[in-house]
């Protein structure tokens, strides 16, 4: 597998990616990841945007994922030569250009044409990590063939035989890093999806039809090309075999019977899977310890973007304790609410090895396809670079907890 180099234009990954056409004019107005959300709201039908943006019940966990970053303030260092700085990070024997990646996002192909490929190609061109979602509408084999080095995220079926068959398929496809998401033992109460008109299975409605008609760009560039060239989208990667169409009532079978899963199932995967194994959806220090004991090569702290248990803590609130328990050499990664370079650096200062960003890259794809995702990556990398200079650090490993002050602690001491 080729390495991802610090400089994207010189990367062999970038050389393999087809050159992008002239960037869409709208990108000149996209100055931050937040700008993509506002633009995507105008471009996507309300049910599709609502599915991406919404979370569970009161959205408390989703909102806390953002609020937690405001609780930390930086302590800068000055007059330090940082002219030879690098964002590069080593992970599982691979060198990535920076310490953030693209999180797995389901049904991305409803946001933009061939969305999973769009995200993976942009990540490969930039030399960053990307995780393909199990609830994707493009066969995993197509994505990994086009973008070797992409990680695959699996939701476990409810019995060992189907788990084994899925793991075999992932290995046969050519993925080398397997991410097992463990925080969906049952479907969450996503009433916000219902309010915006989204459902599983996706049901045609007058609202969806009207939203498509008044957003002709989405209809002409995403829906019609998908149907004409690939037929009705299916959930392609939930099992070893093709799943149900997105309009079929049988879709619900793909998301059921997970409440019987246990650490024994994960241990069985560890015995079968030969490459790096990552456990995603950890919030407990004890669960992180168990994951390491059964042989997981890393963990991703996550509350599923606030889309599961509403009121679950932000991963940032448990990050330092997990790192202290597992040790700095063990890869602890994180997702949830990352929107700025400063957010990423705060996580690194608390001991994270990599931060994964989800919704903003989905919005960027909806706004301008692969060019949009590349632009979003560039924006975040530029923010990190500037912030590193102002913090006085040349590499992520120089960041420590002495670079942060928790504002509540400051008030208490005062």
DSSP tally for the chain: helices H, then strands E = 17, 12
pLDDT in tens, 388-401: 999 999 999 999 99
d(CA 137, CA 121): 16
Provide the sign of the torsion angle of the four alpha carbons 290, 288, 381, 357, taken in this order: positive
Residue 234 lies in a domain: yes
Q: How many domains does the chain have?
A: 1
Evaluate whether residue 81 is within a structural domain.
yes
CATH code assigned at 389: 3.20.20.70
Q: Does residue 10 sit within a domain? A: no
| 38 annotated as ligand-binding | no
Q: Is the pLDDT of residue 13 over 60?
A: no
Q: Given the structure tokens 């180099």, which residue do they identify? A: 5
Across 81-95, 126-140, 193-207, 314-328, least confident range:
193-207
Asked if residues 192 and 52 have their Cβ atoms less than 8 Å apart, the reply is: no
Tell me whether residue 394 is annotated as binding: no
- Give the CA distances from residue 178 to residues 70, 115, 272, in Å, rounded to whole numbers and listed in that order: 33, 20, 11
Q: Is the residue at 8 inside a domain? A: no
| Residue 201 pLDDT | 72
- Note whether 220 and 271 are within 8 A (CB): no
For the entire predicted model, the pTM comes to 0.92
Burial 191-224 (b: 16+ CB within 10 A, else e): ebbeebbbebebeeeeebeebbeebeebeeebbe
Phi then psi for 71, rounded to 5 degrees?
-80, -10
Domain assignment of residue 4, yes or no = no
Q: Answer yes or no: is 298 a known binding residue.
A: no
Do the domain assignments include residue 17? no
295 is in an annotated binding site: no
Does residue 7 belong to any structural domain of this protein?
Answer: no
Host domain of residue 176? 27-406
With both helix axes pointing from N to C terminus, report the angle between 115-126 and 359-391 in degrees, rounded to the nearest 10: 20
Q: 225-243: per-residue pLDDT in tens?
A: 999 999 999 999 999 989 8
pLDDT band with cut points at 50, 70 and 90 for residue 257: low
pLDDT of residue 12: 38
327 is in an annotated binding site: no
Q: What average pLDDT does range 111-125 have in this prediction?
A: 98
Please determine, for residue 6, whether its predicted confidence score (pLDDT) is greater than 80. Answer: no
Residue-wise pLDDT for 124-143, tens only, equals 999 999 999 999 999 999 99
Contact predicate 263/156, CB 8 Å:
no
Residues taking part in catalysis: 304
Given pLDDT bands bounded at 50, 70 and 90, which one contains residue 11? very low
22 is in an annotated binding site: no
Residue 339 known to bind ligand: yes
In a domain, 300, yes or no: yes
């Amino acid at each position: 597998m080729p390495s991802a180099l610090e400089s994207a234009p010189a990367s062999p990954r970038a050389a393999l990616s087809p050159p992008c056409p002239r960037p869409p004019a709208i990108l000149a107005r996209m100055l931050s990841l937040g700008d993509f959300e506002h633009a995507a709201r105008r471009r996507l039908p309300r049910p599709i945007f609502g599915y991406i943006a919404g979370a569970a019940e009161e959205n408390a966990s989703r909102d806390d994922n953002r609020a937690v970053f405001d609780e930390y303030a930086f302590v800068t260092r000055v007059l330090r030569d940082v002219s030879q700085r690098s964002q590069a990070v080593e992970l599982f024997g691979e060198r990535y250009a920076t310490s953030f990646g693209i999180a797995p996002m389901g049904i991305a192909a409803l946001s933009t044409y061939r969305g999973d490929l769009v995200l993976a190609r942009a990540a490969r061109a930039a030399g960053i990590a990307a995780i393909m979602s199990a609830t994707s509408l493009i066969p995993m084999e197509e994505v990994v063939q086009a973008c070797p080095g992409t990680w695959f995220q699996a939701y476990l079926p409810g019995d060992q035989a189907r788990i084994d068959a899925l793991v075999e398929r992932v290995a046969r496809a050519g993925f080398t890093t397997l991410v097992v998401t463990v925080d969906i033992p049952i479907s969450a109460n996503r009433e916000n999806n219902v309010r915006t008109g989204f459902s599983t299975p996706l049901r045609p409605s007058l609202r969806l039809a009207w939203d498509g008609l008044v957003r002709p760009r989405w209809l002409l560039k995403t829906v019609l090309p998908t149907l004409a060239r690939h037929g009705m989208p299916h959930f392609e990667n939930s099992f070893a075999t093709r799943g149900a169409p997105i309009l079929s009532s049988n879709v619900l079978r793909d998301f059921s019977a997970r409440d019987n899963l246990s650490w024994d199932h994960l241990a069985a995967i560890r015995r079968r899977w030969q490459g790096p194994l990552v456990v995603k959806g950890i919030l407990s220090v004890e669960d992180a310890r168990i994951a390491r004991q059964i042989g997981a090569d890393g963990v991703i702290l996550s509350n599923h973007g606030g889309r599961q248990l509403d009121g679950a803590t932000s991963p940032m609130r448990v990050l330092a304790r997990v790192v202290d328990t597992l040790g700095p050499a063990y890869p602890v990664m994180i997702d949830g609410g990352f929107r700025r370079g400063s957010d990423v650096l705060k996580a690194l200062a608390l001991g994270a090895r990599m931060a994964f960003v989800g919704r903003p890259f989905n919005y960027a794809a909806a706004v301008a396809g692969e060019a949009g995702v590349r632009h979003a990556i560039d924006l975040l990398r530029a923010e990190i670079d500037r912030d590193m200079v102002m913090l006085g650090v040349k590499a992520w490993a120089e960041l420590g907890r002495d670079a942060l002050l928790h504002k509540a602690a400051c008030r208490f001491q005062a």
